[in-house]
Amino acid sequence: MTPERIRQSEFAAPEIAHTIYQRSLGLGIVFGVISLITAILPGTREQFFRSYLLGFMLWLGVTLGSMAILMIQHLTGGAWGMAIRRQLEAAMNTLPLMAILFIPILAAGIPYLYSGDPSVTPAMHGWFNATASDGHLFQLHQQYMRRFGTPSFLFINGYTGRAIIYFIIWMLFAWRLNRLSLQQDHPPVQNLAPRFRRIAAPGVIVYAFTISFAVIDWVMSLSPPWISTIYGFIFIAGELLSSICVAVVVERILIRYEPAASYLKPKEVHDHGKLMLTFILLWAYFSFSQLLIIWSGNLPSEISFFTRRLYSGWQLIGLAIVVFHFAVPFVLLLSRPFKRDATTLVWLASALIFMRFVDLFWYIEPNFHKSLGSLSWVNLLDLVVPVALGGLWFAMFFHNLRSRPLLPVYDMHAQEFMEYAGVAHD
């Protein structure tokens, strides 16, 4: 075996990564089959696509949030990022899977997601089936019906075209970052930090714009009359938080085995806990700002978003989000010993991933139901479908993680990190 291969094997992911890959793939397949069966049944098809959008936004958020944190690490440097850099890259490289998983929405889900809720009085129409009572939205439909022969032609094609553009842009940045990172798996030792920064600097800005436009297309447009200029930033903060939480969960698994046991020190775990606190505060600030501005303005076209979510049972979920997505984690993360202990921090990280799911549920599901009491057993799909997508996501994540050394050993800064961590290096 060549010295290069020996060096790479020293930092290979432990065997547990392969075990989790197999279990995640099995979980994704089993729950995926259950989900597909419900998608075929006419009575549950509508709920399937709602649950599918919920699960898709959750795991896409982890993917893109990981890419954003990776770009922040390249811009700022630091041991906190080097310790989880390959984890962030493995998550970022699930983008092709997420692009494939978006196809069912484009191919069959649009009529079920964007037709509005006729059970609401007055009926809430979506952009897919706007009527004369929808004002300007209906006028746009009529203009394009005269031009193209169908009232939804531009809307559907615009939705599809923009989605393709978003994924192309995201995968382009991921490819460029990944291509540079691959060079650091082979000698000689080199400093590629300036090249990484030239990609990451515009990348962070482009990410912020594209994900903002994407959530407007995919989530905000579930209720076409309502708008919020801070909506995209709420999702950005949520994605960053869920991504660092996934990284904390994975590092807790890896820290029991070599080589991660040698370089994941309490200081790095502490830094990741501080990042969790930062993103919690950022999410809370954006969310409260949206509530404060809309509630004080009290405009009928804007306040309907909160009146729909703060009554009829939905306020219980809103209260749970305030308590368990902000208040409890905020208090716990003020403790320095708590942030430095990977064993305790992982439980909070896992809870926050679940609360991110609840937060997305609170944003998406009220668009289709007037009250929480109207939910039926079929909403078990809101758990089944996201678990199916999560199983597939983690399978690809651990496959990616196993394909590369856990540290870019021929990066000059990685060499400095290994020396600081007390890991032997050439």
Instruction: Please give the average per-residue pLDDT across 215-234, as a whole number.
Output: 88
> 142: which 2 tokens?
């009529």
Q: Is the Cβ–Cβ distance between 386 and 65 less than 8 Å?
A: no
Tokens 């192309």 belong to 168
**Closest C-alpha among 319, 113, 314 to residue 224:** 113
pLDDT of residue 95: 97
Backbone angles phi, psi at 322, to 5 degrees: -60, -45
Residue % of the chain over a pLDDT of 70: 85
Say how many CA atoms lie within 13 Å of 106 toward its Cβ.
14
- Alpha carbons 88 and 66: distance in angstroms, whole number: 5
**Torsion over CA: 20, 25, 26, 32 (sign):** positive
pLDDT of residue 86: 94
Q: Is the Cβ–Cβ distance between 247 and 88 less than 8 Å?
A: yes
pLDDT of residue 156: 67
> 13: which 2 tokens?
């992911």
> 6: which 2 tokens?
């020996």
Instruction: Please give the average per-residue pLDDT across 66-80, as a whole number.
Output: 93
pLDDT confidence tier of residue 323, bands split at 50, 70 and 90? very high
pLDDT confidence tier of residue 424, bands split at 50, 70 and 90? low
pLDDT of residue 409: 85
pLDDT of residue 118: 47
Alpha helix ranges (H) inside 77-152: 79-82, 85-92, 95-101, 103-104, 110-113, 136-148
Instruction: Please give the average per-residue pLDDT across 197-209, as a whole number.
Output: 96
pLDDT of residue 230: 92
pLDDT of residue 151: 46
- Alpha carbons 329 and 280: distance in angstroms, whole number: 8
- The average confidence (pLDDT) of the chain is 86
How far from the centroid of its chain's Cα atoms is residue 229's Cα? 20
Higher pLDDT, 138 or 379: 379
Q: Which pTM value belongs to this model?
A: 0.90
CA max distance for the chain: 73
The H or E element containing residue 377 is none
Summarised one tens digit per residue, pLDDT across range 181-191 is: 999 888 888 88
pLDDT of residue 326: 96
Tokens 């749970």 belong to 320
